[in-house]
Amino acid sequence: LAKTTQPISMDSYEGQEVNITCSHNNIATNDYITWYQQFPSQGPRFIIQGYKTKVTNEVASLFIPADRKSSTLSLPRVSLSDTAVYYCLVVDTGGFKTIFGAGTRLFVKA
Amino acid sequence: GAVVSQHPSRVICKSGTSVKIECRSLDFQATTMFWYRQFPKQSLMLMATSNEGSKATYEQGVEKDKFLINHASLTLSTLTVTSAHPEDSSFYICSANRGEGAYEKLFFGSGTQLSVL
């Protein structure tokens, strides 16, 4: 299983763009990169998933370089409600066993 | 999007009693569900993989006789904490996988806060 490494915490201000980078040096060919958001006392919520290059949806963008050994979650114009823990996961589409890393605690200030 | 329902959201019990937590996939069938536990300000720790119609696969260090998992149907998995003790107090979360074409996604329940007195 690919191990992921993320910054433990990040601070930002409302309206700024936030980029959280995740390292996954041992990613395998069949692995997808998925990001989740978790608020206190809630289950994680799916944000975005990708395999390579760039993926964008209504809430975020995901940038994955050609070697796929890292990925960057980009949150445009964050608000106070984006304060949460963000987890980068490498998901094996075959086995599905998902191991969570430590996550990044994002704190958005007014 | 897909919905995974988890009940109860909070339970308080006396030491020595058993507690059952249900995890349901409401709008899709899930052959595989996962159970996690999470302590305050820590990440989720995978406890076991629940497979419909077969025995669960437990992670190293998780007592299978303590945490009984039953996956009786394609939409329901249950976790029973047997003879609960205060050290079992934690936040328990389930997830279910849903295949969507080339992508596979995990959807999570809202979690169950267990407090053992």
Do B35 and B14 touch, CB atoms closer than 8 A? Answer: no
**A100 to chain B, minimum CA–CA distance in Å?**
6
pLDDT confidence band for B1 (50 / 70 / 90): low
Report pLDDT for A40. Answer: 93
Stretch 28-87 of chain A: residues touching chain B, C-beta under 8 Å? 32, 34, 36, 41-46, 49, 87
**A32 to B113: CB separation less than 8 angstroms, yes or no:** no
Is residue A96 within 8 angstroms of chain B, CB to CB? yes
CB of B109 within 8 A of CB of A101?
no
Q: Rounded to an integer, what distance in angstroms lies between the CA atom of residue B117 and that of residue B2? A: 35
Q: Write the pLDDT tens digit of every residue in B29-53.
A: 888 899 999 999 999 999 999 888 8
What are the structure tokens assigned to B112, written together?
């169950």
Model pLDDT, residue B52: 83
Does B93 sit within 8 Å of A44, measured CB to CB? yes
For the cut 50, the answer to whether the pLDDT of residue B90 exceeds it is yes
Q: How many residues does chain B have?
A: 117
Question: What's the mean pLDDT in B45-73?
Answer: 91
Cβ atoms of A77 and A51 closer than 8 Å: no
- Cis ω for the linkage preceding B8 (within 30 of 0): yes
On whether any CB of chain A is under 8 Å from the CB of B1, the answer is: yes
Per-residue pLDDT at B99: 63
Average pLDDT, chain B: 90
Residue type, B49: T
Distance from C-alpha of A81 to C-alpha of A25, rounded to nearest angstrom: 31
Name the band, by pLDDT with cuts 50, 70 and 90, for residue B16.
very high
Name the band, by pLDDT with cuts 50, 70 and 90, for residue B54. Answer: confident
Q: What are the residue boundaries of the structural domains of chain A, listed by start?
A: 9-109
B5 compared with B27, residue with greater pLDDT: B5
Residue in chain B closest to A9 (alpha carbons) equals B41
CB atoms within 10 A of CB B43: 15
DSSP B75-100: TEEEEEE-S--GGG-EEEEEEEEEEE
Residue B91 near chain A (CB below 8 Å): yes
Mean pLDDT computed over B112-116: 97
**Which whole number is the average pLDDT over B7-28?**
95
**Is it the case that residue B101 has pLDDT exceeding 60?**
no
Chain B within 8 Å of A103 (Cβ-Cβ)?
yes
- Tell me, what's the pLDDT at B102? 42
Residue B101: both structure tokens together: 């074409």
- CATH class, domain A9-109, is mainly beta
Q: What is the pLDDT of residue B17?
A: 97
| Amino acid found at B109 | G
Across the interface, of B1, B94, B105, the residue whose CB is closest to A49 is B105
State how far the Cα of A72 lies from the Cα of A88, in Å rounded to an integer.
9
Low-confidence ranges of chain A (pLDDT < 50): none
The two most distant CA atoms of chain B are separated, in Å, by 46
* Nearest-angstrom CA–CA distance, A84 and A107: 7
Number of cross-chain residue pairs from A and B with Cβ atoms under 8 Å apart: 58
